Structures are given as C-alpha cells and as structure tokens.
Amino acid sequence: MAASPEFLNVFKGRDSLAQYLDPDLSPPLPLVEIPNSLNPLRGDGVRIFAKMLTALPAQNVKSLPALAMLRSEPNAHQQTIVEASSGSTVLSLAILARALWGHDDVHAYVTNKKHPDSLRLMKFFGLKTVLFGGLAQQEPSDPRGVMARLRKMANTDPGVCYPGQYGNDENWKAHERWTGAQIWRQLPEVNVFCATVGTGGCVTGTGAYLKAMKPSVRTIGVCSIRGDPIPGPRYFSGFETSPFPWQENIDVFQDVCSADAFRASMQLSRHGLICGPSSGQALCGVIAHLQAAKAAGNLAEYADPATNEINAVFVCADLPYQYMDLYFNKIPKEELPPTFNENLLSCDLDPYDERNCLTLEQVFKLDGGALKLQPCAMPSSCCCNNKDRHHQQHQRQYAPPPSPPPSSSGGESPHFPHTPDAPTSLPLPTPPDLLPISLPLTTDINSSENGDSYNCNHDVNTSTATTTRIIDIRPQEAYTRSHMHNAWNIPLTPEPQDLFGDAQAVEARWREMRDVIEGPLWPTSLARVEEGEGGRGRGTKVLVLCGNGDSSRMMVAMLRARGVEAFSVEGGYEAWE
C-alpha cells in the first residue's frame, strides 16, 4: 500500500514500528534544491537537488537495503545476525530487527581502527561488536578477509544469518524499488544522478530505475582517492569485482578527495541540509564531473531539450555527528569560526553542583543543627583566626622570610598580590596541621593579640563539637570588619562584582584558588581528610564563604574534585548582612 498525498504520518497498533520503518507507508523523502551559493554552475543552467535519505527513520541510506535483506531471510528473526559494516548497515539491521521482531542478537564485525565514538554508537544501539585487525577496508572477494569468514560461518552454522551487503542483490534492488522510483515521481525531468560507491547498491539500483524510465539519464559513481579514505565510500579498484549490475547502470566514476568531501558536507549542513562526509563527496562528484564537461564544451549534452536546464540529483546518505573528530582533522582551522574566551578551556573545569550551594536554612542544618553560625562579637581583635599566632610560633621555629605587607587598600591578598599575570604564592614553608576551625566551642575564646582575655558572648553549648569548618576567603579588610565566629580567613584578592562575566577574571581567580589550595597556607587537615590524626578530619565538612557567593562556588567545585565535602552559601557572606 503506497502512502497517499493526504497521509498523516501516524502509525498505530502492535505493528506501529514496522509500519513506521516501511518506505511504502510513508511520504516520499525530501528532494531539495541546494542554494546558489553552493552551486557554482547555476549560471550555466545547472540545478542540483539533494535527495535526503537522511530523513529515513534510521537516518541513513543503508536502512533501505537492510530492510529488504532482512525480509528476504525467512529465519533471520531467530538467528544470530552478523554483518561486516563500517556503521550504517549494521546499525540499520539492529534497529529493524528489533522493530520487526523484537530481535536483538545482531553482531557488528568492525575494524579495530574504528574511532571510539563509532564503537560507542554501536553499543548505544544495542549491537554486539566483534573487532578484527589488519586492513580496515577489506575487499569482499578476499578469501582471507572478514567477509569470507562470515560467509563460511553462515554456511556451516544454521543459527547464523549473514545478509552480506556486498553481494546480496536485495541491496541494489531496494534502491531500484524505493530510491529510484521516488526520484522519478518527484523530478521526472532529472538528467543526472550521483551517489558515492560503498557497496554500490544505491548508485546501481537507483541508476537502473532512472535509466529504465529515461535512458538519457547519466549516472555518476563517486569513489575515494586511494590512500585518502572517508567513512563508507570505496576505491574504484576495490569495487570492480562487485557482482551487482553496475557496468550497465554507472556511466562514469569520479574521484573526490576527503578534505573537499568534509568541507562540502559542512557547508550543506550549515545551510540546513544536515548530512555526513559521503554526502559532501557526492555533491563534489557531480560538480566536478559537470565542470569537466563544461571545460570540454560538452555541458549542453546533459541538458533537457525542452528547458535547456540540467537537473542533477545527489544522495545525502548519513549524518555528520559521529565524524566530528575527522571534520576537525580535515578542515583547516582558518575555515572554522573562532572560539572566544578559549582560556576557559584550561581552567575552572570542575563541575558545579547546585546541591552544594546551600540556603541559610540549609546551612543551619549542617552537623544536625550543632553548627553555631553567629557573627563574631569582636571581629577586629578576636582570635577566631589563629593564623597570626600560629605563624609567629612557626616563624620562631623555621625562621621563614617575612611576608610582604598587604596593599594600602587592604583589598589585596597578602599572599597573592593582584598582578596582570596569574597570582602566585610566596615560598612559605608548609605549616603543621592547623587547629580545627570548629572546635568544641566555649564562651571564653582564647586571647586577643595583646594577651587580654575577652568573651565573644556567643550562646553556645559547650559540650557540642561540630565537624564543619568555615573558610572565609574574603580580603583581610572585610574579614576584620565582620566575620562568622570561628571562621578561618585565607584572604584572596577582592571579588569582582560580575566574576563569571569576565573570562580573564575567572582564570585569575581559579589560578589564585588553585595556588591557595595546593599551597602552604591551606589547612593540612582539609587537604588530607582521609588521613586525619586519630580520625580527626573524617567526615569533616567545609563551608566556604566569600562576598557574594561566586568565588565560593568555584572553590567548592575545586575542593569537591579533591575529595573534600565542601559547601557554599547562596549569596555569600552578604546573605547574613
């Protein structure tokens, strides 16, 4: 039953998938004239049309012969289906076998030189992959090749079905039945047909139908240049032994280099005709052949006598996505659009997880609600941050060189002064493990810098020991003005108002944080939480505070990537102010 013009493309019932994959029950695939910008011969009366076999349900040209071959095998539904394929044929076999019969025992015999992305694609579609070594593109007639082994396997094992796309007449007859017939219905004024030569089924079968309807149609088979392959098409020297009736249906062969094929495919895709490299190769082939005819003064011989126009059709066979690495290897960088802010490809790559950015309500639930988050009552003279006292003791022991003073603005980090270059830390010796930030809290908090005792007046349960440590990365001036009780200050440079709107600022911030985390001032108990002395550090959480929350998000991502259970606060320290 052929689809009527009013067919609505709706498939229902138990056989909905089988109907959907049946070309006889679908409208003709699109036939689209390419824009003049891609047709250098438009001024010579040449019109070029793309036959979008990529619009098939399996999105590649091979699904038509795959369907015909499976239908011709009466026991395929209960056999192991094996095929030597570079991708499209065996993918189509797997999709169709599952849709027709719920059958999923399909094995792809693939070269071990296949790109990993293509191998993953086969696994995605449920294929069992069997790799073979040696020559990647083997000849079907090679008695020691993979196809000869598969033929022998199918002949000796009744549980194996080998469709054998290179020698199965159902391959080219599928294109005679469907592709050729559709093109004739859509464009009876066709003069030239062009397709790449892989198995040769498409160009042979389509050519056979068009020539039967209009003997003057010229058929062009496009091959790869030896030593310059692209996925799918073959060299002519490997195609000569094909058992298909190609001699009477292919008028001429045209070689096209891989770089031109990839470039043409990219241009077609950018214009909305999304297709892979073999499609670009077919377009280049038809243009090259007609340009040669023009140069020889023979172009008029191809024209329709009634219109004096030349209507050429080429096949878009598959999609480009699985070949991206090849595109970027074949096409010069200058022909591709630039990437701005490329510096971000080498920094700030740790994933941000919104679950690690807590609201104030969530923060107060840390440690089961035992963490007491209150502003320090004496921020300018308290001992919440024991760094100074610790360093004085450390300097007496190791006598390190003195640190440079903070800038007069009070905004720069004394350890990482802001410069146009990436911030770097001074060569301070690594201190011993710092005192835990979240000690069992008491109302008498150490002593001030001048030795006087004071009381922070925090209403704290003295028997409660929390396991969350607070790292405050705001500049010293901001920390001295106001901070959370018991927060450890590791001052960074001032936080930009719109950090992530400036790629250079992001990189500078990331480098500064990396140097801090990996440098001598970072608490060693947080750097080695799994090795905490006496279990101290196991399960330790880190709460990072910055001004507005942006920098703390970045640091949390970096700490998480290093195995530290870290959190930031939505809105940063400003959320408390």
Tens-place pLDDT, residues 539-569: 578 999 999 999 999 999 999 999 999 999 9
Tens-place pLDDT, residues 35-52: 999 999 999 999 999 999
The pLDDT of residue 277 is above 50 = yes
Which position has the token pair 């470039």? 263
The pLDDT-based confidence of 86 (bands split at 50, 70, 90) is confident
Task: Give residue 459's pLDDT.
Answer: 34
How large is the average pLDDT for residues 496-523? 91
Type and span of the H or E element at 312 = strand 310-316
Residue 514 in tokens: 């990396």
Tens-place pLDDT, residues 13-26: 999 999 999 999 99
Task: Give residue 433's pLDDT.
Answer: 41
The pLDDT-based confidence of 526 (bands split at 50, 70, 90) is low
The pLDDT of residue 4 is above 80 = no
Describe the crossing of helices 503-517 and 550-561 by its angle, rounded to 10 degrees. Answer: 50
The pLDDT-based confidence of 79 (bands split at 50, 70, 90) is very high
Residue ranges of alpha helices (H) inside 518-562 are 524-527, 550-561
Task: Give residue 95's pLDDT.
Answer: 96
| pTM reported for the whole predicted model | 0.80
Task: Give residue 450's pLDDT.
Answer: 37
Higher pLDDT: 407 or 88? It is 88
Task: Give residue 129's pLDDT.
Answer: 94
The pLDDT of residue 438 is above 50 = no
- Between strands 310-316 and 46-52, the pairing is parallel
Task: Give residue 58's pLDDT.
Answer: 94
Tens-place pLDDT, residues 305-360: 888 999 999 999 999 999 999 999 999 999 999 999 999 999 999 999 999 999 99
The pLDDT of residue 385 is above 80 = no
Task: Give residue 396's pLDDT.
Answer: 35
Percent of the chain with pLDDT over 70: 82
The pLDDT of residue 440 is above 70 = no
The pLDDT of residue 402 is above 80 = no
What's the chain's average pLDDT?
Answer: 84
Considering only CA atoms, which of 551, 465, 568, 542 is closest in space to residue 514?
551
The pLDDT of residue 411 is above 60 = no
- For the ranges 124-138, 337-351, 441-455, which has the lowest average pLDDT? 441-455
Cα separation of 312 and 302, whole Å?
Answer: 10
The pLDDT of residue 497 is above 90 = no
Higher pLDDT: 208 or 427? It is 208
The pLDDT-based confidence of 386 (bands split at 50, 70, 90) is low
Higher pLDDT: 257 or 139? It is 257
Task: Give residue 527's pLDDT.
Answer: 54
Tens-place pLDDT, residues 253-267: 999 999 999 999 999
The pLDDT of residue 436 is above 50 = no
218: β partners: 192
Question: Are the C-beta atoms of residues 175 and 202 closer than 8 Å to each other?
Answer: yes
Task: Give residue 567's pLDDT.
Answer: 96
Type and span of the H or E element at 108 = strand 106-111
Three-class SS of residue 284? helix
Cα separation of 523 and 528, whole Å?
Answer: 9
Three-class SS of residue 489? strand
Question: Are the C-beta atoms of residues 320 and 300 closer than 8 Å to each other?
Answer: no
How large is the average pLDDT for residues 218-239? 92
